[in-house]
């Protein structure tokens, strides 16, 4: 929640005293702390750059402040390192990797704004061959290379675990969309155990949308994370009801799976580019065709009307917000909701004005 003025803070304080007195008078201790009290999902946003120092800039500080006004209360700081190919065993920082100093600055700024901070390290491939390889394909054909890679990954993630402590981060994501590697449950359990010795906060793994059912180490974590790029509709011009029906299928699968893992479920990423392909391939980044801000907004609204208030749901982090208040706009085809109707959809639901306001945003 954004920080507020002293005058408003005093008014809020006395209002809270009144409410507290009512609760203590009317409710028993058992009722006061009962599970029936509504749980508030994390109102998250992914914050990303591929520049060493951008997070430490005035542009970034300004963008974080604007993000806060939209109602965001949880921030996911994205930092990316690289390996040459899917079968390389070295993980390296490049000029596109945000520096530790810039990450610390962004976290400090976020905390001043009242935001809870997650650190979410990624690995990308430099050489993707014909474009079909990505981090989910990282894997090896022999035990020697597996051992080398996990040794390298351990060094990579423990570095960020130590940095998360310096940043006073609240949540650490131990891995992102590393689908082939998560078949190696024993190695992941060892890594998570080591991270626990370093970082005192909450831990999550961000499984790709087609991976989450296959991960076997959810019991080692505080949240079960899904990068929730589920295809919703193959209609050439879907309406919100079509998109909601697409969500219902996945919701049923998640509910059934949730009963087996018994962990709060975070959508560690979810996003839609401003292009016609967003409903059927939401993982695509909007590099072709004309901008379609309406379909992006419809996808956002369908999520809020279908998933947002589910009892198993712990929150969502939208992909993605950029460190500039001038990002996005009506001609932008990319994922960002900034300066688009989708931003108003987020604001309506994050700040509590709800479906009516978000439907008005769609109508504009």
- pLDDT per position as a tens digit, 110-123: 999 999 999 999 99
Could you give the C-alpha distances from 34 to 56, 119, 232, in angstroms and in order?
42, 31, 36
363 or 305, higher pLDDT: 305
First to last CA, the chain: 27
Among residues 258, 255, 285, the alpha carbon closest in space to that of 269 is found at 285
Give me the number of domains the chain comprises. 2
Same domain, yes or no: 27 and 157: no
Domain containing 287 equals 40-363
* Spatial contact of 116 and 202, defined as CB atoms under 8 Å apart: no
Same domain, yes or no: 142 and 234: yes
Note the pLDDT of residue 290.
87
Note the pLDDT of residue 14.
36
Angstrom distance (rounded) from CA 276 to CA 265: 28
Same domain, yes or no: 19 and 51: no
pLDDT digits (tens, 9 = 90+) for 302-342: 999 999 999 999 999 999 999 999 999 999 999 999 999 99
**Which percentage of the chain shows pLDDT scores above 90?**
81
Same domain, yes or no: 345 and 198: yes
Same domain, yes or no: 3 and 126: no
Neighbours of 17 (CB within 10 A): 10
Q: What is the pTM of this model?
A: 0.88
* Spatial contact of 239 and 192, defined as CB atoms under 8 Å apart: no
pLDDT digits (tens, 9 = 90+) for 211-264: 999 999 999 999 999 999 999 999 989 999 999 999 999 999 999 999 999 999
Q: Which residues of 60-82 are buried (b: 16+ CB within 10 A; e: fewer)?
A: bbebbbebbebbbbbbbbbbbbb
Same domain, yes or no: 261 and 161: yes
Same domain, yes or no: 142 and 201: yes
Same domain, yes or no: 209 and 283: yes
User: 20 pLDDT exceeds 80?
Assistant: no
């Amino acid at each position: 929640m954004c920080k507020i003025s002293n005058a408003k803070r005093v008014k809020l304080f006395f209002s809270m005293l009144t409410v507290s007195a009512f609760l203590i008078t009317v409710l028993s201790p058992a009722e006061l702390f009962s599970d029936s009290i509504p749980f508030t999902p994390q109102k998250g946003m992914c914050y990303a750059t591929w520049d060493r120092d951008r997070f430490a800039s005035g542009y970034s500080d300004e963008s974080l402040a604007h993000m806060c006004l939209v109602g965001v209360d949880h921030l996911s700081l994205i930092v990316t390192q690289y390996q040459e190919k899917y079968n390389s065993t070295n993980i390296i920082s490049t000029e596109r990797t945000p520096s530790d100093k810039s990450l610390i600055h962004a976290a400090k700024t976020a905390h001043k704004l009242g935001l809870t901070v997650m650190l979410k390290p990624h690995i990308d491939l430099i050489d993707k061959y014909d474009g079909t390889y990505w981090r989910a394909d990282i894997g090896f054909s022999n035990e020697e290379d597996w051992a080398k890679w996990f040794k390298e990954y351990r060094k990579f993630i423990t570095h960020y675990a130590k940095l998360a402590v310096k940043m006073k981060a609240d949540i650490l994501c131990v891995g992102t969309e590393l689908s082939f590697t998560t078949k190696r449950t024993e190695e992941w359990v060892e890594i998570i155990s080591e991270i626990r010795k370093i970082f005192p906060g909450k831990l999550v793994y961000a499984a790709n949308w087609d991976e989450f059912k296959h991960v076997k180490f959810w019991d080692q974590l505080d949240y079960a994370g899904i990068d929730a790029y589920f295809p919703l509709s193959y209609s050439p011009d879907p309406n919100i009801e079509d998109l909601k029906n697409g969500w219902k299928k996945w919701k049923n699968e998640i509910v059934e799976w949730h009963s087996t893992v018994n962990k709060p479920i975070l959508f560690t990423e979810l996003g839609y580019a401003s292009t016609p392909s967003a409903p059927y391939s939401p993982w695509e980044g909007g590099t072709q065709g004309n901008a379609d801000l309406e379909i992006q907004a419809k996808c956002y609204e369908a999520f809020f009307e279908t998933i947002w208030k589910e009892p198993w749901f712990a929150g969502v982090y939208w992909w993605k917000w950029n460190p500039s208040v001038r990002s996005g706009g009506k001609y932008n085809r990319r994922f960002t909701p900034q300066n688009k109707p989708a931003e108003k959809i987020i604001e309506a639901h994050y700040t509590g004005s709800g479906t009516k306001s978000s439907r008005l945003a769609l109508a504009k």
